């Protein structure tokens, strides 16, 4: 095991947690998931760009455990991880979008439409940083929303926001968030 204080300890622990999570995916043994959750992100410095991805990974694992056990505390801890990951401003925009999306989905499932919409707007503001620069804005936005999973649960509120709705006119599935703005 890598000693405490070693510069690569956090990365190695993250990789170990990822391997344990893969093992859980194939075995469905809760012990494997518990071990994957037990691998902490706390040894990653708060200003490290990988911290957001590690928080996102932990949030996903906690959400999976919630889905298996129904323990509300796991869902709340997962939500907290996603929120902190999404607010890590020096992190890659794609990680922040994914984390914000995951947090927004939890908030929607809890009926907190106002916070979910606010997070969706944050994610939408990050999308130009994720999109390819050679695509037109409309195509880039459509592909990014669809790729990030934002289309069904987040983009519908755009019909009353500052962005053009033309690219979204035929998207009829999902939660209509337009009444929340």
Domain assignment present for 86: yes
Q: How many domains does the chain have?
A: 1
Identify the segments of the chain with pLDDT beneath 70: 40-43, 132-181
The model carries a pTM of: 0.70
Domain assignment present for 141: no
**Among 42, 37, 14, 41, residue whose Cα is nearest residue 24:** 37
CATH number at residue 13: 1.25.40
pLDDT digits (tens, 9 = 90+) for 135-171: 455 555 555 555 555 544 444 444 334 443 333 333 3
| Confidence at residue 89, expressed as pLDDT on a 0 to 100 scale | 86
**Among 102, 103, 85, residue whose Cα is nearest residue 48:** 85
Domain assignment present for 123: no
Domain assignment present for 63: yes
Token duo for residue 103: 């947090």
Domain assignment present for 117: no
| Confidence at residue 132, expressed as pLDDT on a 0 to 100 scale | 56
Domain assignment present for 10: yes
| Confidence at residue 152, expressed as pLDDT on a 0 to 100 scale | 46
Domain assignment present for 121: no
Domain assignment present for 111: no
∠ CA 150-60-129, nearest 5°, is 40
DSSP string, the chain: -PPTT-TTHHHHHHHHHHHHHHHHHHH--HHHHHHHHHS-STTS-TT-TTHHHHHHHHHHHHHHHHHHH--HHHHHHHHHHHHHHHT-TTS-HHHHHHHHHHHHHHHHHTT-HHHHHHHHHHHHHHHHHHS-TTS-HHHHHHHHHHHHTHHHHTGGGGGGSSS--GGGTT---S---GGG-
| Confidence at residue 114, expressed as pLDDT on a 0 to 100 scale | 93
Non-local CB neighbours of 174 within 8 Å, separated by 6+ positions: 151, 152, 153, 154, 155, 156
Domain span at 28: 1-91
């Amino acid at each position: 095991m890598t000693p405490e204080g070693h510069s690569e300890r956090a990365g190695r622990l993250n990789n170990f947690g990822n391997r344990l999570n893969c093992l859980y995916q194939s075995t469905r043994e809760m012990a494997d998931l518990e071990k994957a959750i037990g691998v902490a992100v706390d040894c990653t410095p708060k200003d490290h760009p990988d911290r957001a991805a590690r928080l996102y990974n932990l949030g996903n694992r906690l959400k999976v455990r919630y889905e298996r056990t129904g323990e509300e505390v796991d869902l709340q801890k997962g939500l907290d991880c996603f929120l902190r990951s999404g607010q890590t401003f020096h992190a890659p925009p794609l990680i922040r979008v994914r984390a914000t999306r995951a947090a927004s989905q939890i908030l929607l499932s809890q009926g907190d439409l106002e916070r979910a919409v606010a997070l969706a707007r944050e994610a939408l503001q990050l999308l130009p940083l994720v999109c390819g620069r050679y695509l037109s804005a409309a195509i880039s936005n459509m592909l990014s929303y669809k790729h990030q999973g934002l289309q069904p649960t987040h983009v519908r509120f755009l019909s009353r926001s500052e962005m053009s709705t033309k690219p979204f006119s035929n998207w009829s599935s999902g939660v209509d968030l337009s009444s929340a703005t």
